[in-house]
A and B are shown apart, each in its own frame.
Chain A
Amino acid sequence: MKHLLSTQDLSARNALRLLNVAEEMAAVGQREIKKLPALRGRTVVNLFFEDSTRTRISFEAAAKRLSADVINFAAKGSSVSKGESLKDTAQTLEAMSADAVVIRHPASGAPARLAASGWIDAAVVNAGDGTHEHPTQALLDAFTLRRHWAKLDGTPSAGTTLAGMKVLIVGDVLHSRVARSNVWLLTTLGAEVLLAGPPTLLPVGVGAWPCTVYYNLDDALAQRPDAVMMLRLQAERMNAAFFPSTREYSRRWGFDDGRLALLDTMGLDDTVIMHPGPMNRGLEISSAAADSPRSTVLAQVRNGVSVRMAALYLLLSGDSQDDPQDDQPENQADQPDQLATTPEGRTP
Chain B
Amino acid sequence: MTTDTTAGSTATPSATEYLILGASILGGDAADLLIRDGLIAVVGPEAADAASRGAVTIDAEGLVALPGMVDLHTHLREPGREDAETVETGSRAAALGGFTAIHAMANSSPVADTAGVVEQVYRLGLASGWVEVRPVGAVTVGLGGQRLAELGAMAESRASVRVFSDDGICVHDPVLMRRALEYVKAFDGVIAQHAQEPRLTEGAQMNEGEVSAVLGLTGWPAVAEESIIARDVLLAQHVGSRLHVCHVSTAGSVEIIRWAKARGIDVTAEVTPHHLLLTDELVRSYDPVYKVNPPLRTSDDVHALRAALADGTIDVVGTDHAPHPSEHKECEWAQAAMGMTGLETALSVVQHAMVETGLLDWEGFARVTSVAPARIGRLEHQGRPLAAGEPANLILVDPAARWTVDPSTMATKGRNSPFRGLELPGSVRATFYAGHPTVLEGRLATPRQAPAASMTGEAPAWNI
Q: Do A and B come from one complex?
A: yes
Q: Which residues of A contact B (CB under 8 A)?
A: 8, 85-87, 105-110, 112-113, 116-117, 129-133, 177, 180, 203-206, 208-209, 331-336, 338-339, 341-344, 346, 348
Against A, the Cβ 8 Å flags (1 = close, 0 = not) of B1-16 are: 0000000000000000
Contacts of A86 in B (CB 8 A): 331-332, 335
Inter-chain contact B208/A205, CB cutoff 8 Å: yes
> Contacts of B211 on A, CB cut-off 8 Å?
205
Question: In the complex, which residues of chain A have a beta carbon less than 8 angstroms from the beta carbon of B217?
Answer: 108-109, 130-132
Minimum CB distance partner of B289 in chain A: A333
On chain A, the residues within 8 Å of B285 by CB distance are 112, 116, 331-333, 338
Q: How distant is B48 from chain A, measured CB to nearest CB, in Å?
A: 35
Task: Judge if B147 is at the interface, Cβ distance under 8 Å.
Answer: no
Contact indicator A87/B214 (Cβ below 8 Å): no
Tell me if A338 and B216 are in contact (CB < 8 A).
no
| 21 A-B residue pairings within 8 Å (CB atoms) | A107-B335, A108-B217, A109-B334, A113-B333, A116-B287, A132-B217, A204-B208, A204-B209, A204-B213, A205-B211, A205-B212, A206-B213, A333-B287, A333-B290, A334-B421, A335-B421, A338-B285, A342-B299, A343-B277, A343-B279, A346-B423
For A107, what are the chain B residues with a Cβ–Cβ distance below 8 Å?
332-335
Cα(A205)–Cα(B217), bound, Å: 12
Among residues of A, the one whose C-beta sits closest to the C-beta of B357 is A344
Q: Point out the residues of chain B lying under 8 angstroms from A108, CB to CB.
A: 205, 215-217, 286, 333-334
The reply to whether B332 and A180 contact each other, CB–CB distance below 8 Å, is: no
Contact of B279 among A8, A117, A333, A342 (CB under 8 A): A342
Answer whether A348 and B352 are a contact pair too, CB < 8 Å, given A8-B214, A205-B209: yes
Taking A86-B335, A107-B333, A133-B216 as given, write out 9 further A-B residue pairs in contact, using a Cβ cutoff of 8 Å, ordered by the A residue number. A108-B217, A109-B334, A131-B217, A204-B209, A204-B221, A208-B213, A336-B404, A348-B352, A348-B425
Residues in B with CB closer than 8 Å to A177 are 216
Interface residues of B in 159-202 (CB under 8 A from A): none
CB-CB under 8 A from A106, the residues of chain B are 334
Name the distance in Å between A55's Cβ and chain B's nearest Cβ: 17
Instruction: Using known A-B contacts A333-B282, A348-B356, determine if residue A342 contacts B302 with beta carbons closer than 8 Å.
Output: yes
Chain A residue with the shortest CB-CB distance to B281 = A341
The 7 closest A-B pairs by CB, nearest first: A109-B286, A205-B213, A132-B216, A131-B216, A203-B213, A341-B281, A205-B210
Specify which of B205, B299, B332, B422 is in contact with A105 (CB 8 Å cutoff).
Answer: B332
Q: Which residues of A contact B205 (CB under 8 A)?
A: 108
Per the CB 8 Å criterion, the residue count for chain B at the interface is 44
- Residue on A nearest B277 in the bound complex, by CB: A342
With an 8 A cutoff between CB atoms, is B138 at the interface? Answer: no
Q: Does B380 contact A (CB under 8 A)?
A: no
In the bound complex, residues from chain A placing their C-beta under 8 Å from that of B282 are: 333, 338-339, 341-342
Counting CB contacts under 8 A, is B327 at the interface? yes
Complex Cα distance, B213 from A109, in Å, reads 13
A275 to B145, CA, bound (A): 46
A341–B278 CA distance with the chains assembled, in angstroms: 8
B residues near A348, Cβ cutoff 8 Å: 352, 356, 425
Minimum Cβ distance to chain B for residue A151 (Å)? 33
Chain B interfacial positions (CB closer than 8 Å to A): 205, 208-217, 219, 221, 277-279, 281-282, 284-287, 289-290, 299, 302-303, 327, 330-335, 352-353, 356-357, 404, 420-423, 425
Please judge, given known A-B contacts A331-B287, A341-B279, whether A336 and B422 are in contact too, CB under 8 Å. Answer: yes
Cα A108 to Cα B335 with chains together (Å): 10
Residue of B nearest to A119 (CB): B330
Contact residues in B for A209 (Cβ distance below 8 Å): 213
CB of A330 to closest CB in B, whole Å? 11
* Other-chain residue from B331, B333, B422 in contact with A339 (beta carbon distance below 8 A): B422
List of B residues within 8 angstroms of A205 by Cβ: 208-214
Instruction: Please state if A85 and B212 are interface contacts (CB–CB under 8 Å).
Output: no
CA gap between A341 and B297 in the complex, in Å: 12
Bound complex: CA A129 to CA B205 (Å): 15
Given contacts A108-B216, A131-B216, A344-B353, contact A332 B287 (CB under 8 A): yes
Q: A208-B210, A344-B277 are in contact. Are A336 and B331 (CB under 8 A)?
A: no
Centre residue among B214, B277, B286, B352 by max chain A CB count within 10 A: B286
Q: Report A162 CB to chain B, min CB distance, Å.
A: 21
Query: In the assembly, what is the distance between CA of A183 and CA of B387, in Å?
Result: 64
Residues of A within 8 A of B353 (CB): 344
Chain A residue nearest in CB terms to B326: A87
Identify the closest chain A residue to B421 (Cβ): A336
Q: Contact between A109 and B281 (Cβ–Cβ < 8 Å)?
A: no
Nearest A residue to B404 via CB reads A336
